[in-house]
Amino acid sequence: MKPLLLHGHATSPNPLKIAIACQYLQLLYEIKIWDFGPDPLRGVKGEEFAKISPNGRVPALDDPNTGVVVWESGAIMNYLKRQYDKDNILGPNGPTPQDQADLDQWEYLLLTTLAPMTGQNVWFRYYNTEKNEDAIKRYTKQVYRCYDVLEAQLKRSGGLSILPGGITSVDCHYEPWIRPAKYAGLTGENYPQLEKWLEFMAEQQPVIDAYQSIKDATALQDPEAAARGLQPDLNLIHEAQADAAKG
Ligand SMILES: N[C@@H](CCC(=O)N[C@@H](CS)C(=O)NCC(=O)O)C(=O)O
């Protein structure tokens, strides 16, 4: 099998989900690191990336074995499962229509709500040109509301996976969004189940290897981003907020 090509970014959560899934499925993959600017060759808003995805966002996946190119992390995850998960490593954890529906609903909650709310929270904290406390408050509240729902689910599921019965693609979707909560100005203090799950996930070899693969690719392809880590990109951030972020 030829390696898959994952189009990713130094620190973004969405490509990480796909790297984690590839690790669980033991798929060979290479990573191309893009930045968020309009650079024709390196930027997700540039010409080269537009040939891969009209949506100008990562992740995208290129599978030379089938010729399939796919973007949107939910669609990529589903493609990987259809194409490469014949042993049902990534779930659902049971054979019934309810098992599949459970998996779908938790993935959709992440894709449609938790991730976009967290993303907006980060945007208004670091990148919006004007300070907007109302927006920060609103999105923070929405993320915590999702955390409440997740906390209760982890109590029901036994705590080490979002669905009862072991790690599935659902956990791959959530992990990279929950891990950087602190950077998004959020705390796990009131969410002991969530913290426990996150610690457990961080110990899983496929998760460790996925993070390492993005780190290694970034160190080689975008050393500036590697040095910056989770700090906001000062090239993109509004000047007034850049001063605050530096301080
Ligand atoms: N719904 C999309 C979201 C993709 C997305 O927002 N990706 C971010 C990185 S996590 C991105 O590429 N941002 C670039 C930009 O905003 O210009 C998915 O799940 O793949």
Q: Could you give the residue range(s) of every CATH 1.20.1050.10 domain in the chain?
A: 97-203
| pTM (predicted TM-score) | 0.94
Structure tokens at 217: 């690719």
Neighbours of 56 (CB within 10 A): 16
Atom of ligand 1 nearest to the CA of 13: 10
| pLDDT at position 104 over 50 | yes
Residue 60 near residue 70, CB atoms below 8 Å: yes
> Whole-angstrom Cα distance, residue 169 to residue 107?
8
Cβ(168) to ligand 1 under 6 A? no
pLDDT in tens, 13-32: 999 999 999 999 999 999 99
CATH code of 97-203, in short, is 1.20.1050.10
Domain spanning 4-89+206-237: which CATH class is it, in words?
A: alpha beta
Pocket-testing residue among 58, 120, 127, ligand 1, by greatest number of atoms within 8 A of Cβ: 58
pLDDT in tens, 146-196: 999 999 999 999 999 999 999 999 999 999 999 999 888 899 999 999 999
> Whole-angstrom Cα distance, residue 63 to residue 47?
20
Q: Could you give the residue range(s) of every CATH 3.40.30.10 domain in the chain?
A: 4-89+206-237
Check residue 116 and give left, alpha or beta (phi > 0: left; psi -120 to 50: alpha). alpha
**Strand (E) positions, the chain?**
4-8, 29-33, 60-63, 68-71
Cβ(10) to ligand 1 under 6 A? no
Which 8-state DSSP code applies to residue 44? Answer: T
